[in-house]
Chains A and B, each alone.
Chain A
Amino acid sequence: MSPRRPRHLLFSALLALVALVAAACGSSGDDTATTGGSEGSGGATESSGGGAAAGEEFTVGFIYVGPKDDFGYNQAAYQGSQAVAALDGINVIQAENVPETAEAEAVMQSMIDEGAKLIFATSFGHLEFARNLAEANPDVVFVHQGGLEGEPALDNLGTYFGTVYEPVYTAGIAAGAATKTGKLGYVYAFPIPQTLANINAFTLGAQSVNPAVETIAISTGNWCDPGLQAEAAKSLLDQGVDVITQHQDCTKTIIEATEAAGAFTVGYHADAAELAPKGWLTGSEWSWDKLYVDITNTVRDGKFAESDYNGDFRIGLQTGDNPFVQSEFGPSVSDDTKAKIDTARESFVDGGSPFKGPVADQDGKEIYAADKQPTYAEVETMDFFVKGVIGTIG
């Protein structure tokens, strides 16, 4: 019934399509597991130390859950990896869009096969697979971003993270100073302790300069659903919120909606000031360079097992250079506010905490007594909203 020629043409087109996809996936000349779902493979790069000289070079692998230019979490990790790649005698291999499934194990395994002796697993859900490989490859060191090592402790596995809520607190100071309606907005995905700590720190920071401030927290149930984000931003603006921030993987939609409405933006994950030229206050972003380089040197010198990195390494202003830093200020932040922010940051360096008591939850019950403050570990199990946050957990 159908003419033969169009059928053959279409089949050739289909074959060409499949070939194109296969070629694109294979073209990087490096190891990326490419099956199903999201196919991004373009990011795998070869050494920056030049050539594949055996023996001399120390190979380090990085895996990211998303694309390296997502304006956020993964981009920050990628930039850190470039600091490592700039070191002498280091060969960096990477893979983007590695899902948090067994595929991650396959990708890391192929990096080991390429000679990697240190692997950075940068997304929360990569931990299980890094652990499996750590058990099977005792001569390769695995460091995981954001998780907790678990039992039994392995000598070639460690986790690391910064204290995200410290710059979020200082960003809250800027928000509290800028708001005219006294209402702030926070769009988030899931009520995990890290997010709760952020929302609470933001609110406490704002309340330190403007005690009547309230934060409306909206959950989208998703790390990046632009449709929901757009609606969530509009809902907040409808309620008179005039400063919006977020804990999401993709930040653009909310920032655009906020800027279009003439409200203020506080960023997260990356400096997005160019998206909000008028409304940008400040934000928080990752600066992994120093930490990644230090970990790499420690492992290369064979000193990992006895170092602090062999364990759950957490770093904040108290203990050193927090890899989570304040973003640049926008045009409308006053010098007075900047001074208050500096004072707050100094207090953290001196051993203080954004959660220094008295801190009460939404029902008014006191959680941290006056002058008491939680340890870094206690914050990682936070399960409440502070007074002044409007929203429900679970």
Chain B
Amino acid sequence: MLLESVLTGAVRGGTSILYPTLGEVISERAGVVNLGTEGCMLAGALTAYAVGIETGSVWLGVVAGIVAGAVLALLHAFMVITRRANPIATGLVVTFLALGLTALFGQDYVGQGVNAMAPVAIPGLSDLPFLGPILFDHDPLTYLSFAAAPAIWWVLFRTRAGLNIRAAGERPEVLEAFGTSPARVRYAAVVIGGALAGLGGAQLSTAFTLNWSERMTVGRGFVAVALVIFAAWDPLKAVGGAYLFSGAISLQLQLQARGWELSRYLLEAVPYLTVIVVLVALSHRRRHAAPESLGRVLA
């Protein structure tokens, strides 16, 4: 049935958007906007794919993808936090750098077979009617993402480390008064954000599409940054945002497959329209949700 197909597609395609969204939540909670997320995703996608092919181990590839995303984010962090560059411009530059580098180094891997991160049906649970295929017949990285969102929520709102991150984004001067360096906290947050984006890219290439091609993230990293606002910087709401977007993609394709006679241009726009509409409807609640020091670097 349509609903089951769409929800399954939402989870299947949503993992690669959820990870960078979660990462960007952490980064922006600490006060740093990272538009390099798209670049980190690409770096993660290529590195995971390539290392998986070269070493024969897809898990090793995934780890390498995480590292690649983290390294690129480190570059962004250095430019923005230490050198006080404009975060928007720097993020875009990092993305363009990644676009070029991944296209260059990825040439040898276009079309090559990969050890896939195959779907693993959870015995018993995957036979449940309706919920079974939607939640319990996915690749291991998707299952990991189910745990990642609540874990990140818990860390952000129930631990000291999370408190430091939020303080760095709201009132860094208070953090400094307590003896913790906001810059150090921000570095960590941005790098973790990049690592998660790299993981999202790795999932995209080794689990979801089983392919590498230039620019294959087609802007999902930017969608993730937008979804952070949609989610009011809350990791749990980020899950809703990511699945809403990918569910809309799945919906428009399922409608096409069923022969619905709607303009394909309209159908292609559905995912983006959905996010905008929901954003507008919920905007009165979002207005005050942004971290106070987001985008402002300590003087």
Which residues of A does B touch, CB under 8 Å?
1-2, 7, 10, 14, 21, 24-25, 36-43, 66-67, 69-72, 96-97, 185, 191, 216-222, 224-232, 234-236, 238-239, 241, 250-253, 256-257, 274-275, 390-394
State how many angstroms separate the Cβ of A54 from the closest Cβ of chain B: 32
B283 at the interface (CB under 8 A from A): no
Bound CA–CA A257/B5 (angstroms): 16
Chain B residues, Cβ within 8 Å of A241: 257
Chain A residues, Cβ within 8 Å of B216: 224-227
Chain B residues, Cβ within 8 Å of A39: 100-101, 103-104
Which 5 A-B pairs give the minimum distances between C-beta atoms? A71-B111, A226-B209, A38-B103, A39-B100, A235-B257
Chain A residues, Cβ within 8 Å of B257: 185, 216, 218, 232, 235-236, 238-239, 241
Are A231 and B253 within 8 A (Cβ)?
A: yes
Given contacts A219-B268, A235-B5, A392-B263, 18 further A-B contacts (CB under 8 A): A24-B104, A38-B100, A38-B103, A38-B215, A39-B103, A39-B104, A42-B107, A96-B107, A225-B216, A227-B13, A227-B204, A236-B257, A239-B257, A250-B211, A253-B209, A253-B211, A256-B211, A257-B210
Are A221 and B104 within 8 A (Cβ)?
A: no
User: How many contacts between A and B, using CB within 8 angstroms?
Assistant: 156
**Shortest Cβ distance from A96 into B: residue:** B107
Given known A10-B78, A216-B259, contact A250–B110 (CB-CB < 8 A): yes
Chain B interface extent, by class: 35 or more
Are A235 and B210 within 8 A (Cβ)?
A: no
Bound CA–CA A298/B265 (angstroms): 44
State how many angstroms separate the Cβ of B171 from the closest Cβ of chain A: 18
Q: By DSSP majority rule, is chain B's interface helix, strand, loop, or mixed? A: helix
Which residues of B does A touch, CB under 8 Å?
5, 9, 12-13, 16, 75, 78, 82-83, 96, 99-101, 103-104, 107-108, 110-111, 113, 116, 183, 204-205, 208-211, 213-218, 220, 249-250, 253-254, 256-265, 268
Chain A residues, Cβ within 8 Å of B218: 222, 225, 227-228
Chain A residues, Cβ within 8 Å of B9: 231, 234-235
Bound CA–CA A297/B274 (angstroms): 56
Are B263 and A228 within 8 A (Cβ)?
A: no
Q: 20 A-B contacts, Cβ less than 8 Å apart?
A: A7-B82, A24-B104, A37-B100, A37-B103, A38-B215, A39-B103, A69-B110, A71-B111, A219-B256, A221-B265, A226-B205, A228-B218, A231-B12, A231-B250, A232-B256, A235-B257, A250-B111, A253-B209, A390-B259, A394-B265
